[in-house]
């Protein structure tokens, strides 16, 4: 049920039946010994719509469940990047033209980019802030309240910092929304994202 909590700890080889793939990667596995979901991204995968770069891509890997009403979505991800823009985090999605994603994007030179992409009307925007290269593990949390999302990040899972507040236009009147984990590699394959858990809690905190 979309109004019941889910806490997927990847302690079993089988995923919760509530979780479904959008663009399933060719290679992924649940490591129940390490309690993690390991995603090996395919090459040339991304989520982006038009803005500045002109291209439209909607083939990133997205493991999601259906949600109704308000909810809190949380994960912890450790990134093993290989190429520029390798990324993994959380996504909330209404359609190919209306969604939100938050992650750390890898930059081979200088700091990485902690940020959020919000897409409405098939146009994406991207807000970023620098994140030191030595930080490879980040917690992400999205608090969906009515038609808005409050996006937060943490380096220890306890102290949270708000990094974005955004509106998803298509949520008004929508029966449900897809939400969950995502990962992609806009350039080459080789990126490995390790998710420690996925927590979905209906309501607000």
Domain ranges of the chain: 6-202
- Residue 110 CA: distances (Å) to CA of 46, 53, 68, 77, 152: 22, 22, 40, 21, 23
Q: What is the pLDDT of residue 3?
A: 80
Query: What token pair was written down for 199?
Result: 């927590």
The residues pairing with 12 across neighbouring beta strands, listed in sequence order, are: none
Q: What is the pLDDT of residue 148?
A: 98
Q: Cα(32)–Cα(10) distance, rounded to whole angstroms?
A: 6
Q: What is the pLDDT of residue 1?
A: 56
Owner of token pair 């259906």: 66
Positions in the chain whose pLDDT score sits under 70:
1-2
Q: What is the pLDDT of residue 197?
A: 98
Q: Cα(89)–Cα(25) distance, rounded to whole angstroms?
A: 15
Contact 201, 83 (CB under 8 A): no
Q: What is the pLDDT of residue 26?
A: 98
Q: What is the pLDDT of residue 50?
A: 96
pTM exceeds 0.95 for this model: yes
CATH number, span 6-202: 2.60.120.200
Q: Cα(52)–Cα(24) distance, rounded to whole angstroms?
A: 28
Q: What is the pLDDT of residue 186?
A: 97
Contact 87, 183 (CB under 8 A): yes
Q: What is the pLDDT of residue 32?
A: 87
């Amino acid at each position: 049920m979309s109004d019941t909590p889910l806490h997927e700890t990847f302690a079993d080889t089988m995923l919760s039946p509530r979780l479904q793939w959008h663009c399933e990667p060719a290679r992924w596995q649940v490591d129940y010994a390490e309690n993690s979901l390991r995603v090996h991204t395919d090459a040339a995968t991304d989520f982006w719509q038009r803005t500045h770069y002109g291209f439209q891509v909607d083939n990133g890997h997205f493991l999601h469940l259906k949600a109704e009403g308000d909810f809190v979505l949380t994960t912890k991800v450790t990134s093993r990047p290989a190429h520029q823009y390798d990324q993994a985090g959380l996504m909330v999605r209404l359609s190919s033209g209306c969604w939100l994603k938050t992650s750390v994007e890898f930059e081979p030179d200088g700091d990485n980019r902690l940020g959020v992409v919000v897409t409405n009307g098939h146009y994406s925007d991207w807000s970023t802030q620098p994140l030191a290269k030595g930080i490879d593990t980040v917690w992400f949390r999205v608090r969906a309240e009515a038609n808005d999302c409050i996006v937060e990040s943490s380096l220890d899972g306890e102290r949270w910092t708000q990094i974005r507040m955004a509106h998803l236009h298509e949520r008004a009147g929508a029966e449900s929304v897809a939400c969950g984990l995502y990962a992609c590699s806009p350039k080459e394959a080789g990126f490995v994202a390790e998710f420690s858990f996925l927590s979905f809690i209906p309501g607000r905190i």
